[in-house]
């Protein structure tokens, strides 16, 4: 084993249709680390639904299998993983804090105090803080300051974006990972992870929305002026598209999934009218076929509805006119041919598919898919933490990791 455990990161994406494990080696410099992909594992599973564990045994099994495959491919063992989290139980909101500055200049401790004050709000009994992301500082009521340390002023204010999660949902995810034999170093909100894998700094700065089209949920994250501004999780997702195909074409769930991936399209006008494909049939039904246009029509209608919900979310958050870099599509649904055309129509904004590629080495081509945006983002998140601290997640016993994770969790200023 040539890789130092201190340079390893591992990620787990617990989706509604599959579990993905990814292992990478961190290289490059601390400010801009690169991740060399060493191994990955993908195991189909429906043990988690929209970020909530509904079958512990099944989820544990899938984690163990995906991790085992990733470790075998990488030729290394890991102990700690960065784990994605998402779903309707996640809530995001902005919060405000204010402190008076006593010294001549603003120090790190003042910034910590004001961040803590902004984060110190009641989340309700069942929820806990996942991320506190400083967005803007004000010194003596002057806004737009991103780095206040070293400046002079008597009153320091902070705008912080707080992401909270349902404690029990997070506990149950953690339990599955632990039962599979691993330790969760940190949970990271999935669309934020995806943003690390697919957004360019310019897109973040100008304003854009990530729309992650998953199997159980559709997650939206809005970025503007370099920072995350809003996130939401929508109920309508790929599972609904599959359900419509089941009813429309009278096929099983399994066949609907297969037909969707093989012959489907998200934009009806792209499909030639004469294209026909064979439909699976029972002995009594006899040979059957269907027009691809019919399948595309079913998918187009439902994906349009999903994207319209995402647009409503963007509009409600007040950002529709402020996203010149447009919409970046990730997740399984982003693989549907014509999805970019559909998104351009619905949003009346530029659109593209978000495929991980930047800052990756090694088996990078194996993660060149919008489905891998979340796991790659988790690895890149981990890579930044490791590059900044020297603590990797490798080795069965990852000493020092816990000690390291706690303090940084509060400050994600340079991340999102
Ligand atoms: N080529 C394709 N065209 C349309 N949909 C597709 C295609 N390939 C995959 N999908 C759909 O993408 C969905 C799975 O996406 P993904 O793997 O991102 O979800 P997940 O991470 O398991 O779930 P979630 O994040 O919602 O919990 C499924 O509904 C699947 O049918
Ligand atoms: Mg997912």
Q: How far is CA 167 from the centre of its chain?
A: 19
Number of structural domains (the chain) is: 3
Check residue 390 and give its pLDDT. Answer: 56
Look at the pTM and tell me if it is higher than 0.75.
yes
Judgement on whether residues 11 and 101 belong to the same structural domain of the protein: no
Asked if residue 278 is part of any domain, the answer here is yes
- Among residues 112, 157, 163, the alpha carbon closest in space to that of 133 is found at 163
CA dihedral defined by 222, 225, 228, 232, rounded to 10 degrees?
-20
Judgement on whether residues 245 and 297 belong to the same structural domain of the protein: yes
Copy the structure tokens of residue 195.
């943003």
Mutate which of 54, 332, 341, 369 for ligand 1? The one with the most ligand atoms within 8 Å of its CB, which is 332
**Whether the Cβ atoms of residue 4 and residue 392 lie closer than 8 Å to each other:** yes
Protein residues within 5 Å, CB atom, of ion ligand 2? 15, 214
| 136, β-bridge pairs | 159
Judgement on whether residues 147 and 172 belong to the same structural domain of the protein: no
Judgement on whether residues 84 and 97 belong to the same structural domain of the protein: no
DSSP H stretches of helix in 83-237: 108-119, 167-179, 190-198, 201-206
Asked if residue 172 is part of any domain, the answer here is yes
For the chain, the residue count is: 416
CA distance 232 to 87: 8
Asked if residue 51 is part of any domain, the answer here is yes
Q: How distant, in Å, are the alpha carbons of 12, 301, 364 from that of 68?
A: 12, 39, 19
Judgement on whether residues 74 and 222 belong to the same structural domain of the protein: no
Judgement on whether residues 378 and 237 belong to the same structural domain of the protein: no
Domain CATH for 333: 3.30.420.40
Judgement on whether residues 78 and 12 belong to the same structural domain of the protein: yes
Query: Residue 239 CA: which ligand is closest?
Result: 1
Instruction: Report which protein residue has its CA nearest ligand 1's atom 15.
Output: 332
Match 């304003």 to its residue by tokens. Answer: 207
Ligand 1 atom closest to Cα of 48?
A: 27
**Whether the Cβ atoms of residue 215 and residue 15 lie closer than 8 Å to each other:** yes
Instruction: Report which protein residue has its CA nearest ligand 1's atom 5.
Output: 333
Asked if residue 416 is part of any domain, the answer here is no
Asked if residue 415 is part of any domain, the answer here is no
Compute, in angstroms, the gap from residue 389 CA to the centroid of ligand 1. 35
Asked if residue 296 is part of any domain, the answer here is yes
Instruction: Report which protein residue has its CA nearest ligand 1's atom 6.
Output: 333
Check residue 404 and give its pLDDT. Answer: 42
Copy the structure tokens of residue 298.
């079913």
Judgement on whether residues 341 and 247 belong to the same structural domain of the protein: yes
CA distance 55 to 128: 23
Compute, in angstroms, the gap from residue 238 CA to the centroid of ligand 1. 6
Compute, in angstroms, the gap from residue 261 CA to the centroid of ligand 1. 10
Cα 129–132–137 angle (5° rounding)?
150
HEC sequence for 276-323: EEEECCCCCCCCEEEEHHHHHHHHHHHHHHHHHHHHHHHHHCCCHHHC
Compute, in angstroms, the gap from residue 165 CA to the centroid of ligand 1. 23
- Among residues 81, 158, 83, 53, the alpha carbon closest in space to that of 115 is found at 158
Please give the residue range of the domain that contains residue 129.
Answer: 91-163
Compute, in angstroms, the gap from residue 237 CA to the centroid of ligand 1. 8
CA distance 118 to 214: 32
Query: Residue 238 CA: which ligand is closest?
Result: 1
Residue 376 neighbours by CB under 8 Å, 6+ apart: 11, 22, 35, 197, 356, 360, 367
Judgement on whether residues 210 and 141 belong to the same structural domain of the protein: no
Compute, in angstroms, the gap from residue 214 CA to the centroid of ligand 1. 5
Query: Residue 54 CA: which ligand is closest?
Result: 1
Compute, in angstroms, the gap from residue 372 CA to the centroid of ligand 1. 11
| 137, β-bridge pairs | 145, 158
Ligand 1 atom closest to Cα of 190?
A: 25
Copy the structure tokens of residue 343.
């998104």
CA distance 280 to 198: 37
Given 163, 183, 217, the domain boundary residue is 163
pLDDT values of the chain reduced to their tens digit, one per residue, 416 residues: 467 777 999 999 999 999 999 999 998 877 788 999 999 999 999 999 999 999 999 999 999 999 999 999 999 999 999 999 999 999 999 999 999 998 999 999 999 999 999 999 998 889 999 999 999 999 999 999 988 999 999 999 999 999 999 999 999 999 999 999 999 999 999 999 999 999 999 999 999 999 999 999 999 999 999 999 999 999 999 999 999 999 999 999 999 999 999 999 999 999 999 999 999 999 998 999 999 999 999 999 999 999 999 999 999 999 999 999 999 999 999 999 999 999 999 999 999 999 998 889 888 888 999 999 999 999 999 998 888 765 555 544 443 444 444 444 445 555 66
Judgement on whether residues 283 and 334 belong to the same structural domain of the protein: yes
Ligand 1 atom closest to Cα of 257?
A: 31
Judgement on whether residues 78 and 224 belong to the same structural domain of the protein: no
Asked if residue 280 is part of any domain, the answer here is yes
Match 């020092």 to its residue by tokens. Answer: 400
Compute, in angstroms, the gap from residue 114 CA to the centroid of ligand 1. 41
Compute, in angstroms, the gap from residue 346 CA to the centroid of ligand 1. 20
Q: How distant, in Å, are the alpha carbons of 13, 125, 160, 240 from that of 378?
A: 8, 28, 22, 27
Judgement on whether residues 179 and 149 belong to the same structural domain of the protein: no
CA distance 101 to 109: 10
Residues with CB under 6 A from ligand 1: 15-18, 50, 214-217, 237-239, 242, 257, 260-261, 264, 331-333, 335-336, 371
Neighbours of 95 (CB within 10 A): 17
Mutate which of 88, 215, 244, 373 for ligand 1? The one with the most ligand atoms within 8 Å of its CB, which is 215
Asked if residue 414 is part of any domain, the answer here is no
Ligand 1 atom closest to Cα of 218?
A: 26
Given 104, 138, 163, the domain boundary residue is 163
- Among residues 413, 188, 218, 209, the alpha carbon closest in space to that of 309 is found at 218
Domain CATH for 110: 3.30.1490.110
């Amino acid at each position: 084993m040539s890789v130092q455990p201190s340079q390893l990161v591992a990620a787990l994406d617990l989706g509604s249709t599959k579990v993905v494990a990814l292992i990478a080696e961190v290289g490059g410099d601390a400010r801009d680390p690169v991740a060399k992909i060493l191994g990955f594992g993908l195991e189909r599973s429906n043990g988690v639904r929209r970020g909530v564990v509904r079958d512990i045994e099944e989820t544990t099994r899938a984690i163990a299998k995906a991790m085992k495959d990733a470790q075998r491919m990488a030729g290394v063992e890991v102990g700690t993983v960065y784990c994605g989290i998402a779903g309707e139980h996640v809530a995001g909101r902005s919060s405000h804090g204010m402190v008076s500055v006593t010294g001549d200049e603003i120090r790190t401790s003042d910034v910590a105090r004001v961040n803590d004050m902004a984060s110190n709000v009641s989340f309700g009994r069942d929820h806990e803080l996942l991320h506190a992301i400083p967005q803007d500082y004000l010194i003596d009521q002057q806004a737009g300051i991103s780095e206040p340390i070293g400046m002079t002023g008597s009153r320091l204010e902070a705008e912080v974006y707080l992401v909270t999660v349902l404690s029990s949902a997070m506990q149950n995810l953690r339990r599955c990972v632990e039962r599979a034999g691993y330790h969760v170093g940190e949970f990271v909100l999935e669309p934020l992870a995806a943003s690390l894998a697919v957004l360019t700094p310019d897109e973040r700065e100008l304003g854009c929305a990530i729309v992650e089209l998953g199997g159980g949920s559709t997650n939206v994250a809005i970025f503007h002026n370099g920072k995350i501004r809003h996130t939401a999780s929508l109920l309508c997702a790929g599972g609904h598209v599959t359900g419509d195909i089941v009813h429309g074409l009278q096929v099983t769930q399994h066949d609907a999934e297969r037909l969707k991936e093989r012959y489907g399209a998200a934009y009806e006008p792209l499909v030639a009218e004469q294209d026909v494909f064979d439909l699976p049939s029972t002995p009594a039904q006899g040979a059957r076929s269907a027009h691809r246009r019919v399948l595309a029509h079913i998918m187009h209608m439902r994906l349009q509805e999903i994207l319209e919900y995402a647009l409503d979310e963007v509009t409600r958050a007040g950002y529709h006119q402020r996203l010149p870099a447009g919409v970046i599509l990730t997740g399984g649904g982003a693989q549907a041919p014509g999805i970019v055309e559909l998104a351009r129509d619905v949003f009346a904004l530029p659109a593209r598919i978000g495929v991980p590629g930047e800052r990756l080495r090694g088996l990078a081509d194996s993660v060149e898919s919008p489905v891998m945006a979340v796991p790659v983002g988790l690895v890149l998140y981990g890579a930044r933490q490791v590059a900044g601290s020297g603590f990797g997640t490798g080795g069965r016993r990852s000493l020092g990791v816990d000690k390291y994770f706690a303090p940084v969790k509060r400050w994600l200023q340079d991340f999102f």
